[in-house]
Amino acid sequence: MQILAPCAGHVIAMRDVDDPVFSEQIVGPGVGIEPLAGPAQILAPADGRLLKVDPHAFILMVDDSVGILVHIGINTVQLQGDGFEVLASRGDSVSAGTPIVAWNPDDIDQPGVSTTVVVAVMDHAPDSVTGAAVGADVAVGDPLFTV
C-alpha cells in the first residue's frame, strides 16, 4: 500500500528524527518530514478511518489492518493544542488528501519542541517500509513510502 506525504517538505530517515521513540522505530518504521514554512494543513496520507485525532497527532487505520501514525512535530503535546486546528473527527472515514489538522510550523518556537512531522507504520518491524523518499523534497500527496 502506498502512503502519501501529508505535508510538503524535506524527507528525512526515521533514524534522524530527534526523538528516540521514533528514531529507534519503537512505534514503527516510517520517515520524518521537515515541513515548509508557513500555514499548512496536514492531510490524510491514505484512505482510511480515523482511530484517534489529537491536535498534534492522528492515527489512520488503513485497510482495516494497518495503523498509520502522523505525529505533527516532536514534543508538541506540550503545546496542549495551541497552534493547531483539528479539522476531522475520530471515526471519520477519509480519503487520501483529506485535511485533518491545520497549523503553522512558524508558530512553533519553544525549547525542546521541533516541527518534524513523523509518519510511522504502527506495529510493523523496523525498516519494513520500502521506497522511502528519504532525501527528497516532497509536495503534499507525493508518494512517501510503501508498506
Give catalytic residue positions.
Answer: 71
Question: Three-state DSSP class for 21?
Answer: helix
Q: Are 70 and 34 in contact (CB under 8 A)?
A: no
What are the backbone dihedrals phi and psi of residue 16, each rounded to the nearest 5 degrees, phi first? -95, 0
Query: In which region does residue 136 sit, left (phi positive, over 0), alpha (psi from -120 to 50) or beta (all else)?
Result: beta
Pairwise CA distance, residues 29 & 107, whole Å: 28
Q: Is the dihedral of CA 52, 123, 5, 110 positive or negative?
A: positive
